[in-house]
Amino acid sequence: MRVMVLIKANEDTEANVMPSEEMLAEMGAYNEELVKAGIMLAGEGLHPSAKGKRVAFSGTKRTVIDGPFAETKELIAGFWLWQVKSMDEAVEWVRRMPNPTNAHGVVEIRPVFEEEDFGDAFTPELRAQEQALRAQVEANTKR
C-alpha cells in the first residue's frame, strides 16, 4: 500500500526558518534508511505558504488567492510518498523519524487510493488510460 506522510507546518516553517546542519544530517540518514528499506518513493520539503497560491472553486468560477495563508496548523511543510505493507508499518517508520521541526508537531499518514478502491466505476478503459498516464509520467522522470 502507498501512503502519503504529511509534515504539518508551524510558525518556524512558515517564517522560512531553515533546518540546522544537524537536522539536515539526521533527516538525510533517515531518508537513507527509508530508501534502503524500499519504503521511500518520493519526499520533499515545501516552501512557506507566502510563496504559494490557492485556487478556490465555486461552480465554474475560479479565484486565485495569494499566500501566506492564515491557519498555520492546516498547512503542510513537507511530504513523503511511501510504499509499505500496512498502516502499522507506516506508523512504526514515523515513530523512528527525527522531529522535523524540533518543536511540538504532527505528522499525518494517509493511504493513497489504488485502482481497486474505485470498484466497477473504474472501467477497463479508464484503467488503460491510467496505466498509459503512469507510463508517460515514468518516462518523463527519466529525462
| DSSP secondary structure string for all residues of 41-60 | EEEEE---GGG-EEEEEETT
DSSP code for 69: -
Query: Is the same domain home to 121 and 107?
Result: no
Report the pLDDT value the prediction gives residue 126, as an integer from 0 to 100.
Answer: 94
Query: Is the same domain home to 84 and 124?
Result: no
- Domain coverage including residue 129: 115-143
For 30-61, write each residue's pLDDT tens digit: 999 999 999 999 999 999 999 999 999 999 99
For 52-96, write each residue's pLDDT tens digit: 999 999 999 999 999 999 877 789 999 999 999 999 999 999 999
Query: Is the same domain home to 121 and 81?
Result: no
In angstroms, how far is CA 140 from the centroid of its own chain? 20
Say which CATH number the domain at 65 has. 3.30.70.1060
Query: Is the same domain home to 108 and 120?
Result: no
Query: Is the same domain home to 78 and 129?
Result: no
In angstroms, how far is CA 70 from the centroid of its own chain? 21
